[in-house]
Structure 1
Amino acid sequence: MASFSLLLILLGSFCSKPLKVEAANILISALYGEGSHFLAASAIGQSLVARGHNVTFLISSAYYEHRVKNPKFSNFSYEVFKHPVPNHEVREMFKTLNNLAFVNQDKQFIEMMKLMSKRMAHDCEFLLSDKQFESRLEGFDAMMLDISWPCGLLIREILRRNENSVAMIAITPTPPWSGFLSASGSSFNYAYQPEITTGLPNKMNFAQRLHNLCSSIFVKILGDFLFYAPYSEIGKRLGFPEIHFVHSYSDFDLHLTNVDFASEFIYPLAPNVIPVGGLTVAAPAPLGKELEEFVQSSGEHGVIVFTLGTYLASITTIRPEIVTMFAEAFRRLPQKVIWQLKELPDWELPSNVKAMPWLPQNDLLGHPKTRAFMYQGGNNGFQEACYHGVPIVVIPLQGDQYDVAARIEARGLGKKIEKLELNAEIIYETLTEVIKNPSYKKVADQVSAIYKDQPMSAPDRAAFWIEHVIKFGGAYMRSPANDLTFIQYHLLDVYAFLTAVIVIFLAVVYYTLKFCLTRCCRMIGLGSSRKSKTE
């Protein structure tokens, strides 16, 4: 009897175990395998590999050598795609984008869209024209697509044509924009949700709400006719039905967004949208001996970490006058400054400045002597500073960096410097204010505590949900919002019906009262005439 009971317990224990995903084959498209997009996606890839899955990155031949030589990414497989132009021209495209950093924001946005839509669409068609590529897609259980490159949706159509059952995951490495949220079935309210690249706060006055709505319309029109249109043409040439690229994400199983509400504006999300902010954060590793000695030599004043991003680390050759401006400001500071700078100027930098071609950014931000982080406003850097509790001075240069700057100021994490107003005095005063005013450090520490008070890391959370949709699909989490027409979603037919009912009711009341009053007046008038005759 005891043996039988033990058998039942063992069987019950076996049956109660959750459904386990066997080693899945997962394809990840993170732009070209370049920059912050790849770093965010690779963090998820590392977590998936740790769980026993096989991860393959779709990567440009222009960046393959750089990634495959890095031991950190050696546990990935790579599907390398070539370009119709030499690899150095592809790398030059991204450099050109960053050379637009110090031009007017509106002009910058249009020029970036033109450059990216043309070059990246050609690359997409060149990739899909590879007859062997379609066969190499067989065997994948899931695909994670960075929405920055719409080519992923055409790859998805190839999988559909082959009737492959593949879990589809979309990821946005930036603060989400209206199209992404709407496609996921989440609501987007222009009264308190700023559109991407606007740099608006979530508490807006009338002029800002008007700006927000007009900017969103502009982004949608420009996106449809400039950014997405070339891919629609490619789809037609490949025999796919016409694709509306934003709405094509509406039936994805999962949407990952690289935000954390400890530092992000608050807005409602559908169940299939999972915040995974902090993908690139980690506990700091020890610094190299030389760098550690420089940091320790700062004494009680500490250090400032300064970068304008990988490409603008070459700013000495792009805008040498800006290097002079920053050096003048740093010379006056009591803190020491660690500056990402690839090419040194032909004059000597201040003695309190250490220039490095590459920074161990996460490790420096996690160092107890770091007092402030000054940078261009990338989303990964923002979350690393938040995680480590470092006040921020942000100089937004392009794209979503304006939005990150708005969140930094709104949350009280630091201050913004307008790029077209840069001068040595403003740089010095802003850094001094952020370091000396304890309110910024207090907020940064609170946000850091929230970031760290999580049951699992952001990459592990993303990996868990990817496994989940591989097991169960994501249809049960999908909002029905995208199944409704514009009229149905906004209840225009209901409002029209209620308006008609109210109008008809008021009309009936009006004409009934009018009829009654008219009859009463006639009867009163008739009675008066009869009375006068009898008299």
Structure 2
Amino acid sequence: MDVQTFCSFIVLFMSIIWPAVSGFNILVSSVYGEGSHFLAGAAVGQGLADKGHNVTVLISRAYEHRAKDPKYSNLSFLIFNHRNRSLQDVRDMFFHANTMAFDSAESQMLELFSLFSESMADDCVGVLHDVDIMKQLKGMDAIIMDPVWLCGIVMGAVIERDLNHSKQIKMISMTPNIPDGAMLQSIGSYFNSAFQPEISTGYTNRMTFLQRVTNIFFTSLTIILSQYIFIPPYQKVARNMGFDQQDLDLNLWTWHKLFDLHLINIHMSSDFPFPLSPNVILIGGGLTVRPPAKLDQELEEFVNSSGDEGVIVFTLGTYFASVTKFQPKFVDMFAEAFRRLPQKVIWQLKELPKKELPPNVKALPWVPQNDLLGHPKLRVIITHGGNNGFQEACSYGVPMVIIHFLGDQYDVAARVEARGMGRSIDKFALSADVIYETLYDVINNPRYAKVAKEVSSIIKNDPMSGKERAAFWVDHVIKYGGDYLRSPATELSFIQFYMLDVLAFLLTVLCIVLLIAFACLRFVISLCYRVVFGSTKSKTD
């Protein structure tokens, strides 16, 4: 073998095995880098990195501290700048969106929804015009994007166009919470309002007549908001980037063409069962869970000092940890309820209240939730019903008390109560007595802990974790594509999908048959009448 042949063989060999050795290049775009959306997206990215893929996470300059977190050392980060807003404006927008439920009515949510769409679409323009970022994205094989920020769709189309369509970017959506009906229908997965509760309704899968009526209304509202408020700003971005509708049809009813795979962070052990299209993969049941680490000495001593009574963890997430500032009465109610309980309480509070907290309460600006959930002395966790925390508690088998404020938190509360893993408290019914009675019941009634442990056992019996399942399917669609997984329901019109044309045809046939039968019967009756009465008349004559 001469040198040239040998070199050619090496090049061919490396071109075959290199993807297997170095993995695919995958971008994760999960809403700026803050909150539950980022945590779920980053967890999927970590699962892919553990399998040898090269994962890059796109985050905002406002949250660039994520890139320095040693927990994400196996991920690379791309940081984009904001065009028309300061970093504090961005942080304030997210803070306001997550805390407005205390003082605001649902009527203000529409205004906020529109503001978010316009602002995030504007940031998308900034990313698309960032030469350095777009240059680095040309090497991507797949984009995993959160549906809350549709910029990933336009990014993928721009990359393919810049490469003269010599490469197809695989598009994967990653929904970090309970899916809405509009999304499920748009990807060809069956959605029936009779037993599938719409997001934000707080209904179970066994609804009354009026609840089913409301459920259909909420689904219709979700479709309208998505199609006419949420999506149009990105349609404008696509047009400004030179795409017409034929090149990039960014539309709710064409989503099935835009994506190869859909990941959803739920698990059927704790959710209401419903049918799914093959290209929808459930990755819940502890997506963000990691093996519990040992608590620091001070916190460990506090936990152990609880004795047989155990501890309660109270955390309402990143934003509600500042509740002392904007709802001091809220803090006072819980402090009074905790004072009556024998358990020790670990409470996430960024600022201490003016009144002294009870001696059995330890306030911390940040709580190692994962590590505490895995601690044997934990009796119950009080949370706002964020999906990540809910899934983590399910994975560890910890009973819950949910205080829901907005969005899918109502739905998490409904699932906790329907499954029997705990109880919920309406934010408008909060009082020290209600909080105390609810906690006392969940801690001392063994049925809650029994159900929570059962759910945990089901999750742990899975052959793959959520991260592993996500990594497997993302790798699969990069290699083989997702066309064969798409439901044929996406090719049907509304009339065809619900068989209205067939029903109309069968109804028409039935009407014709009945008309013929009626005509025949009328003819027979008329004939008999003539025979009987005709013969009688002739005898009379």
TM-score higher than 0.5 here? yes
Question: Which amino acid counterpart does residue 294 of structure 1 have in structure 2?
Answer: F
Question: Which amino acid counterpart does residue 255 of structure 2 have in structure 1?
Answer: Y
Question: Which amino acid counterpart does residue 224 of structure 1 have in structure 2?
Answer: Q
Maintained 8 Å contact 2:350/2:365: yes
> What residue is the counterpart of 2:462 in the other structure?
454
Maintained 8 Å contact 1:26/1:140: yes
- Report the Cα offset of residue 346 of structure 1: 2.2
Structure 1 unmatched ranges of 5 or more: 1-16
> What residue is the counterpart of 1:517 in the other structure?
525
> What residue is the counterpart of 1:14 in the other structure?
none
Structure 1 residue 310 and structure 2 residue 313: aligned?
Answer: no
Maintained 8 Å contact 2:21/2:52: no
Name the stretch that deviates more: 214-223 or 147-156: 147-156
- Report the Cα offset of residue 244 of structure 1: 4.2
Match of 2:410 among 402, 419, 437: 402
> What residue is the counterpart of 2:79 in the other structure?
80
Q: How many Å separate the matches in 2 of 1:341 and 1:214?
A: 38
Match of 1:170 among 170, 173, 186: 173
Question: Which amino acid counterpart does residue 155 of structure 2 have in structure 1?
Answer: I
How does 1:242-257 map onto structure 2 within 5 Å?
A: 242=245, 243-251=249-257, 252-257=259-264
Q: How many Å separate the matches in 2 of 1:108 and 1:219?
A: 16
> What residue is the counterpart of 2:491 in the other structure?
483
Q: How many Å separate the matches in 2 of 1:423 and 1:111?
A: 31
After superposition, the C-alpha distances for 1:404-424 in whole angstroms (9 at most, x for unaligned) are 111000000000000111111
Question: Which amino acid counterpart does residue 397 of structure 1 have in structure 2?
Answer: F
Structure 1 residue 106 and structure 2 residue 106: aligned?
Answer: yes
SS at match of 1:101: helix
- Report the Cα offset of residue 455 of structure 1: 1.5
Q: How many Å separate the matches in 2 of 1:480 and 1:21?
A: 36
After superposition, the C-alpha distances for 1:277-304 in whole angstroms (9 at most, x for unaligned) are 0211122111000000000001111100
Maintained 8 Å contact 1:105/1:398: no
Q: How many Å separate the matches in 1 of 2:432 and 2:244?
A: 55
Structure 1 residue 434 and structure 2 residue 442: aligned?
Answer: yes
Match of 2:214 among 211, 214, 221: 211
- Report the Cα offset of residue 427 of structure 1: 0.7
Match of 1:185 among 181, 184, 188: 188
> What residue is the counterpart of 2:267 in the other structure?
260
> What residue is the counterpart of 2:62 in the other structure?
62
Q: How many Å separate the matches in 1 of 2:524 and 2:463?
A: 72
After superposition, the C-alpha distances for 1:316-352 in whole angstroms (9 at most, x for unaligned) are 1111111111111111111010000001112321111
Name the stretch that deviates more: 318-327 or 362-371: 318-327
Structure 1 residue 275 and structure 2 residue 313: aligned?
Answer: no
> What residue is the counterpart of 1:41 in the other structure?
41
- Report the Cα offset of residue 20 of structure 1: 4.8
Q: How many Å separate the matches in 1 of 2:142 and 2:455?
A: 34
Q: How many Å separate the matches in 1 of 2:206 and 2:447?
A: 21
Structure 1 residue 220 and structure 2 residue 219: aligned?
Answer: no
Question: Which amino acid counterpart does residue 259 of structure 1 have in structure 2?
Answer: I
SS at match of 1:55: strand
SS at match of 2:404: coil
Q: 1:275 to 1:21 in 2, by over 3 A?
A: farther
Structure 1 residue 327 and structure 2 residue 335: aligned?
Answer: yes
Maintained 8 Å contact 1:301/1:334: yes
Maintained 8 Å contact 2:127/2:134: no
Q: How many Å separate the matches in 2 of 1:168 and 1:114?
A: 25
Match of 1:423 among 415, 426, 431: 431
Structure 1 residue 237 and structure 2 residue 240: aligned?
Answer: yes
Maintained 8 Å contact 1:183/1:249: yes
Q: How many Å separate the matches in 2 of 1:470 and 1:414?
A: 40
- Report the Cα offset of residue 133 of structure 1: 4.5
Q: How many Å separate the matches in 1 of 2:193 and 2:437?
A: 35
Structure 2 unmatched ranges of 5 or more: 1-16
After superposition, the C-alpha distances for 1:34-60 in whole angstroms (9 at most, x for unaligned) are 111111111121121122111111111
Question: Which amino acid counterpart does residue 216 of structure 1 have in structure 2?
Answer: T
After superposition, the C-alpha distances for 1:218-253 in whole angstroms (9 at most, x for unaligned) are 111122222222222222222323434333431322
Q: How large is the Cα RMSD of the aligned pairs? A: 1.7
Structure 1 residue 28 and structure 2 residue 23: aligned?
Answer: no
> What residue is the counterpart of 2:70 in the other structure?
71
Q: How many Å separate the matches in 2 of 1:530 and 1:20?
A: 101
Q: TM-score, normalised by structure 1?
A: 0.93
Structure 1 residue 372 and structure 2 residue 375: aligned?
Answer: no
SS at match of 2:106: helix
Maintained 8 Å contact 2:171/2:260: yes
Maintained 8 Å contact 1:256/1:275: yes
Q: How many Å separate the matches in 2 of 1:25 and 1:370?
A: 40
> What residue is the counterpart of 1:195 in the other structure?
198
SS at match of 1:342: coil
Maintained 8 Å contact 1:168/1:253: yes
Maintained 8 Å contact 2:399/2:421: yes
Maintained 8 Å contact 1:178/1:188: yes
Q: 1:104 to 1:519 in 2, by over 3 A?
A: farther
What is the aligned length?
Answer: 515
> What residue is the counterpart of 1:363 in the other structure?
371
